[in-house]
Chain A
Amino acid sequence: MPDAGAFSGVETALASGDVDALFIFILAICAFFFILTQGLLIYFALRYRRKKGEQPAPTPYITGNTVLEAVWIVVPSLLLIAIFGYGFAVFVKMRTPLPGAAEVHVTASQFVWNFQYPDGRRSVNELRLAVGKPVKLIMTSTDVIHGLFIPDFRQKMDLLPGRYTFLWLLPKKTGTFDIYCAEYCGTGHSIMRATLIVMPQAEYQAWVQAETQKLQAGTQSIAGKGKSLFESSGCLGCHSIDGTPKVGPTLKGIFGRTVQLADGKTVRADEEYLRESLVDPNAKIVKGFQPIMPTFKMTLKDDDLAAVIAYMKTLQ
C-alpha cells in the first residue's frame, strides 16, 4: 500500500519510496482521466436522455473533429511517455547492483525457503539482515518456478531451476516483514512464506556471533542439538508440539504413536518412520492431511536427522 513513506523520506528499503511516489503520480493522472471521462459519460447520458416512448429529438450531424481527435492522441501519448520514463528510471534504480553488497543465497523448493549467509550458516524460512547494509540475493530453485515477494520492500523476482536470478536489497528500517511466494508452484504455494527480520547493526552482529557460537559448540546434547535444528528448520510453521493440529499433525507424543495413513494402513512412528518423514515426506501421508511437506534431505545430514529424531522423542 503506498504510504507516507513516499514523501517523508523514510523508506523501508531501497527505492520503495520511489515506487510509492511513482504510484501516486500514475494515480493522479488516472484520477484526472477518470473524472474527465466518467464525468462526461454520466453527464451526457443523463443530460441528453429521452424518456421512454418519447420521440427522439433532432441531433446535430457531427461526425468528428480533427483538432479534438488530434489533442486526445497527442496529450495522452505525452503523458504515457512520462509515466514510462519515470517507471523506467525507478526500475533501473531497483536493478542496479549495489557496491559492497553481502551475498545471500536463496534456494526455493516446494514449499520452503532456504537461505544461506556468506559465512555458510543456513536458515529455513527466515532471513535476518542488518539495517543499512546492502545485500545481493542470489536466487535459484530446485524444482519449479517460485517467486520471492517482499511487499514492504516493493520487490519481487522469480526463482528458476537451472539458473540464477538476483535482487538487490538495502533495508532502511528495522522491523519484521513478510516474504511470500508469488509465482504459483503447486499445492503448498500459499503457505510457502518466510519472515524477513531487519535488525539494528549492533544487534545483528550480536546475533551472528551467538549463532556461530551455537554451531561451533559441540557440547550440546544430541537432543539439544536436535531442538536447535528443529527450531531453525521451520518445523513449527506446520507442526505444533502442544497437541493442536496445524497444517501438519502435532508432534506431541509422536514417537511410538500408531499413525493412521491416508491409504488406510497404520504404521508405528518409530525412528525409521520419522527419518522417512523428513527425507521423503510424501511416501506416507497421515490421514486428514495434505501431501505438502517439503523434504529436508538437502539441509539435514545424517547426524542432524538423528539429533532431530532424538529431540522428537522428548516431546511427550
Chain B
Amino acid sequence: MSEEMVQSSGLRRGYLEERGFRSWAFTHDHKRIGIMYLIATHLFFLVGGLLAVLLRLKLLTPGPALMSSHAYNVLFTMHGAMMIFLFIIPAIPSSLGNFFIPLLIGARDVAFPRLNLYSLWLFLIGIVVTVASLLNPIDTGWTFYTPYSAKSATAVTALSLGLFLVGLSSILTGLNFLVTIHTMRAHGMTWYRMPLFIWGMYATSVIQVLATPVIGMTFVLLVAERLLGVGFFDPAKGGDPLLFQHFFWFYSHPVVYVMILPAMGIISEVIPTFARKPIFGYKAIAYSALAIAFIGFLVWGHHMFVSGMSTTASVIFSFLTFFVAVPTGVKIFNWIATLYRGSISLQSPMIWALTFIFLFIIGGLTGLFLGSLATDVHVTDTYFLVAHFHYTMMGGTVMGLFAGLHYWFPKMTGRMLNERWAFHAWWLIVTGFNVTFFPMFILGMQGMPRRYAEYPAKYQPLNIVATVGSWVLALGILIMFVNFIRSLRHGPAAPDNPWHGLTLEWTIPSPPPVENFEEIPTVTDWPYSYGEKEEPGNEE
C-alpha cells in the first residue's frame, strides 16, 4: 500500500487515507491494527515456511548430509515455535478478527481501542525478544519438555519471556473481543442474529482468556527453574517433569481450538454467501463452537498417553477426547447440508472454503487413531502425528485463513484479487500439501519417529516424495502472495459488495471509512436470508 498507489488509485481511500508512521504506530483504529497484525503474522508464516522447506531438504537423505543434527533440531524448534505462536494463533483472531468483528456487529471500533493498540505493541516487543533468542538458537522442540529445556544451554529463557509477552498480548485481545461482542452489537442484533464468525470469535476469546495465563505461568516457572534453581520440574529436587507437561498441554490443547474456531467461523460465512442459501443449522453451529471450547479444556492428557501418566487418567482423557468430535462433526455435516440445492459459485473464497472442509475432514478423522488409547501408543510421536496436526492446522486453519483473505481482500483493500492467479495458486497448494503430508501418515504407521534429523534408510522413498511436495506447496504459496501484492497495486476497483453478502461489512464502502458506518444500522433479521426469502433486486 504505497502512497503513490493509494493516491493514484482514485478510490475512496477510507481508513487508509491518513499517511505517516505516527498514524500507524499510534492508531486506535481496529482496521489499521488488524492490518499490522496481518503483515507481522504473515511474515512469520513465510519465514516458518522457509524453515520447513530447509527441513525437508535435509530429509531427502537419511544420513548426516547437508546440516548437522543440532542445526536440524534448531530448525524444527524454530519452525514450530514461530508457526504456532507468531503465526497461527494470532493470524485470524488478531488480523481478520480485529478488522471485521466491529464491522460484522455494526460497531465503530472494539470496546477498548487503546488496549488494542497496547496489545499490538506487546506483540511486537514479544516478537523482538523471541527473535533475539536466535542468537543462541534453541533446540528443545516447540514443546520445551523438561528436564531438557531446563538444562539446555540455549536461549530458552529469552524465548520463554518473548512468548510470555506474545501470550499476554493475545489475552488482552481476547478480553477486548469478549467485551466488544457483549456490549457493542448494533441495535436489533440479538445473539441469534449475530454472524457465525462472531460466535466463533466469541468462543475463541473465551479460550484465549482462560487458557493463556496457564502457559504464561508455565514459561515463568521454566525460567525460574533455569535462573533461580527452583525445582518444580526437576526430579533431583523432588519435582516432576510430568507436571510441566500437564501445565503445558492444559493450554496447548485448548489453543488448537483457538486456531480452528475462527477458521470455522469464516467457513460459516463463505459457504452461505457463495451457495446463496441460508446456513443449515445456525444454532447447532453456534452452540458447537461453545461446546468445542468447553470440552477442549478437558482433554489435554491425550498428549500424554505414553508419558508415564497413569492408566486411569489416560482412560478418562481418551473418553473425553472422543466427545470433541461430535460438535466438530455437526459443523461439517451442516456446511455440507448448506450446499444441498444451493446455487454455488466456485470463486476463490468458496474453493478455499470447500478445500478447508475436505482437508479438515482428513485431519479430524485421523485424530480418531490418536484419541484411541491402543492405536495412539503406536502412532504418537511418529510422523502420523505430524501429518495429523498439519492436516488440521494447515489443511484446516491455514486454508480457512486463505478463504478469509480471499473473501475479505476486496473489503480491506478496495481491490479485487486476480481469480486466475488465485486458481493456479490453489491447485498448486492443494496438490503440494497432500503430496507433502499424506505420505507422512504411512511413514508414521511404519514406525518413523518425529524430530528425526537422520532416519533409517527404509523410510527414504516416502521422505523424498514429501520433500518434492513441499516444493510444489511453496511455489503455490509464493504465487498466492504475489497475487495479493500485485492486486494491491493493479487489481480492479472493488465494489462495496462484490459477493452480494448479507453481513454488515458489505453495506459500507471498500475500503471502509475510518468510522466504519455513517450511521449505526438497526438490524432486523439474521444475516443468512439467502434464497427464496431474499428481497428482489438485491443482486446486481
Residue positions of A touching B, CB distance < 8 A: 1-2, 15, 18-19, 22-23, 26, 29-30, 33-34, 37-38, 40-42, 44-45, 48-50, 52, 55-65, 68-69, 72-73, 76-77, 80-81, 83-84, 86-92, 94-95, 143-145, 147, 149, 151-152, 154-158, 160-163, 165, 178, 180-191, 193, 247, 290, 292
Given contacts A30-B365, A145-B145, A182-B381, 8 further A-B contacts (CB under 8 A): A19-B374, A29-B368, A65-B280, A69-B284, A76-B329, A90-B373, A152-B447, A158-B306
The reply to whether B454 and A190 contact each other, CB–CB distance below 8 Å, is yes
Nearest residue, chain A, Cβ from B239 = A162
The reply to whether B341 and A15 contact each other, CB–CB distance below 8 Å, is no
The reply to whether B445 and A1 contact each other, CB–CB distance below 8 Å, is yes
The reply to whether A49 and B345 contact each other, CB–CB distance below 8 Å, is yes
Q: What is the CB-to-nearest-CB distance from B362 to chain A, in angstroms, rounded to a whole number?
A: 7
- Contacts known (A34-B365, A56-B539, A80-B325); A160 close to B280, Cβ less than 8 A: no
**B456 contacts across to A, CB distance below 8 A:** 178, 193
The reply to whether A88 and B315 contact each other, CB–CB distance below 8 Å, is yes
Nearest residue, chain A, Cβ from B307 = A158
- Contacts known (A48-B275, A62-B340); A95 close to B311, Cβ less than 8 A: yes
The reply to whether B449 and A91 contact each other, CB–CB distance below 8 Å, is no
The reply to whether A190 and B453 contact each other, CB–CB distance below 8 Å, is yes
The reply to whether B451 and A187 contact each other, CB–CB distance below 8 Å, is no
Cβ of B491 < 8 Å from any Cβ of A? no
> Which residue from B307, B325, B361 sits with its C-beta under 8 Å from A37?
B361
Q: In the assembly, what is the distance between CA of A22 and CA of B151, in Å? A: 40
The reply to whether B343 and A59 contact each other, CB–CB distance below 8 Å, is yes
Q: In the assembly, what is the distance between CA of A50 and CA of B283, in Å? A: 28
Nearest residue, chain B, Cβ from A150 = B447
- Contacts known (A30-B365, A69-B281, A72-B330); A48 close to B446, Cβ less than 8 A: no
The reply to whether B532 and A187 contact each other, CB–CB distance below 8 Å, is no
Q: Which stretch (B32-40, B66-74, B110-118, B211-219) binds chain A?
A: B66-74
- Contacts known (A50-B344, A178-B447); A157 close to B308, Cβ less than 8 A: yes
The reply to whether A87 and B281 contact each other, CB–CB distance below 8 Å, is no
**3 pairs of A and B residues whose beta carbons are closest in the complex:** A162-B235, A151-B447, A87-B372
Q: In the assembly, what is the distance between CA of A145 and CA of B318, in Å? A: 23
Residues 12-65 of B at the A interface (beta carbon under 8 Å): 64
Nearest residue, chain B, Cβ from A152 = B447
The reply to whether B147 and A161 contact each other, CB–CB distance below 8 Å, is yes
- Contacts known (A34-B361, A64-B284, A290-B69); A87 close to B318, Cβ less than 8 A: yes
The reply to whether A163 and B311 contact each other, CB–CB distance below 8 Å, is no
Q: What is the CB-to-nearest-CB distance from B217 to chain A, in angstroms, rounded to a whole number?
A: 21
Q: Which stretch (B170-178, B331-339, B393-401, B428-436) binds chain A?
A: B331-339
Q: Give me 14 A-to-B residue pairs in the complex whose CB atoms sit less than 8 angstroms apart, sorted by A's number.
A: A30-B365, A52-B345, A73-B326, A77-B326, A83-B368, A83-B371, A143-B147, A149-B381, A152-B447, A162-B236, A186-B73, A187-B139, A290-B69, A292-B69
**A72 contacts across to B, CB distance below 8 A:** 329-330, 333
**B451 contacts across to A, CB distance below 8 A:** 184, 189-190
Q: In the assembly, what is the distance between CA of A258 and CA of B64, in Å? A: 25
Cβ of B87 < 8 Å from any Cβ of A? no
**B533 contacts across to A, CB distance below 8 A:** 61
**A152 contacts across to B, CB distance below 8 A:** 447
Residue positions of B touching A, CB distance < 8 A: 64, 68-70, 73, 139-141, 145, 147-148, 151, 235-236, 241-242, 275-284, 306-308, 311, 314-315, 318-319, 322-323, 325-326, 329-330, 332-334, 336-337, 339-347, 354, 357-358, 361-362, 365-366, 368-369, 371-378, 380-382, 442, 445-447, 449-456, 528, 530-533, 539
The reply to whether A158 and B308 contact each other, CB–CB distance below 8 Å, is yes
- Contacts known (A22-B374, A187-B73); A144 close to B151, Cβ less than 8 A: yes
**A91 contacts across to B, CB distance below 8 A:** 311, 314-315, 373-374, 377
Q: In the assembly, what is the distance between CA of A247 and CA of B70, in Å? A: 13
Q: In the assembly, what is the distance between CA of A68 and CA of B280, in Å? A: 11
Q: In the assembly, what is the distance between CA of A61 and CA of B380, in Å? A: 45
**B339 contacts across to A, CB distance below 8 A:** 40-41, 44-45, 48
Nearest residue, chain A, Cβ from B328 = A76
**B70 contacts across to A, CB distance below 8 A:** 187, 290
The reply to whether A60 and B532 contact each other, CB–CB distance below 8 Å, is yes
Q: What is the CB-to-nearest-CB distance from A180 to chain B, in angstroms, rounded to a whole number?
A: 5
From A42, A89, A160, residue with most partner B Cβ within 10 Å: A160
> Which residue from A59, A193, A290 sits with its C-beta under 8 Å from B532?
A59
> Which residue from B333, B342, B454 sits with its C-beta under 8 Å from A59?
B342
> Which residue from B280, B284, B326, B343 sits with its C-beta under 8 Å from A62?
B280
Q: What is the CB-to-nearest-CB distance from A126 to chain B, in angstroms, rounded to a whole number?
A: 16
**B446 contacts across to A, CB distance below 8 A:** 1, 151
Q: What is the CB-to-nearest-CB distance from B532 to chain A, in angstroms, rounded to a whole number?
A: 5
> Which residue from B346, B357, B382 sits with its C-beta under 8 Å from A49?
B346
**B280 contacts across to A, CB distance below 8 A:** 62-65
Q: In the assembly, what is the distance between CA of A60 and CA of B453, in Å? A: 55
The reply to whether B329 and A30 contact each other, CB–CB distance below 8 Å, is no
Nearest residue, chain B, Cβ from A190 = B452
The reply to whether A144 and B343 contact each other, CB–CB distance below 8 Å, is no
Q: What is the CB-to-nearest-CB distance from A117 to chain B, in angstroms, rounded to a whole number?
A: 23
**B323 contacts across to A, CB distance below 8 A:** 77, 80
**A292 contacts across to B, CB distance below 8 A:** 69
**A185 contacts across to B, CB distance below 8 A:** 148
**B68 contacts across to A, CB distance below 8 A:** 187, 290
Nearest residue, chain A, Cβ from B325 = A80
The reply to whether B539 and A55 contact each other, CB–CB distance below 8 Å, is yes
**A154 contacts across to B, CB distance below 8 A:** 374, 377-378
Nearest residue, chain B, Cβ from A151 = B447
> Which residue from B344, B354, B374, B381 sits with its C-beta under 8 Å from A147?
B381
**A19 contacts across to B, CB distance below 8 A:** 374-375, 377-378
Nearest residue, chain B, Cβ from A180 = B449
- Contacts known (A50-B344, A83-B372, A162-B235); A156 close to B282, Cβ less than 8 A: no
The reply to whether A160 and B235 contact each other, CB–CB distance below 8 Å, is yes
The reply to whether B282 and A63 contact each other, CB–CB distance below 8 Å, is yes
Q: What is the CB-to-nearest-CB distance from A190 to chain B, in angstroms, rounded to a whole number?
A: 4
**A184 contacts across to B, CB distance below 8 A:** 73, 140-141, 145, 148, 450-451
Q: What is the CB-to-nearest-CB distance from B153 to chain A, in angstroms, rounded to a whole number?
A: 11
**A1 contacts across to B, CB distance below 8 A:** 442, 445-447
**B326 contacts across to A, CB distance below 8 A:** 73, 76-77, 80
The reply to whether A44 and B344 contact each other, CB–CB distance below 8 Å, is yes
**A40 contacts across to B, CB distance below 8 A:** 336, 339
- Contacts known (A1-B445, A22-B372, A23-B369); A38 close to B358, Cβ less than 8 A: yes
Q: In the assembly, what is the distance between CA of A245 and CA of B322, in Å? A: 50
Q: In the assembly, what is the distance between CA of A162 and CA of B236, in Å? A: 7
The reply to whether B322 and A83 contact each other, CB–CB distance below 8 Å, is yes
**B283 contacts across to A, CB distance below 8 A:** 64
The reply to whether A151 and B381 contact each other, CB–CB distance below 8 Å, is no
**B343 contacts across to A, CB distance below 8 A:** 48, 50, 56-59
Q: What is the CB-to-nearest-CB distance from B221 to chain A, in angstroms, rounded to a whole number?
A: 17
The reply to whether A56 and B377 contact each other, CB–CB distance below 8 Å, is no
**B236 contacts across to A, CB distance below 8 A:** 161-162
The reply to whether A182 and B449 contact each other, CB–CB distance below 8 Å, is yes
From A68, A143, A184, residue with most partner B Cβ within 10 Å: A184
- Contacts known (A41-B339, A161-B147, A178-B447); A87 close to B308, Cβ less than 8 A: no
The reply to whether B322 and A81 contact each other, CB–CB distance below 8 Å, is yes
Q: In the assembly, what is the distance between CA of A91 and CA of B375, in Å? A: 8
The reply to whether A48 and B344 contact each other, CB–CB distance below 8 Å, is yes
Q: In the assembly, what is the distance between CA of A86 and CA of B193, in Å? A: 42
**A52 contacts across to B, CB distance below 8 A:** 345, 347
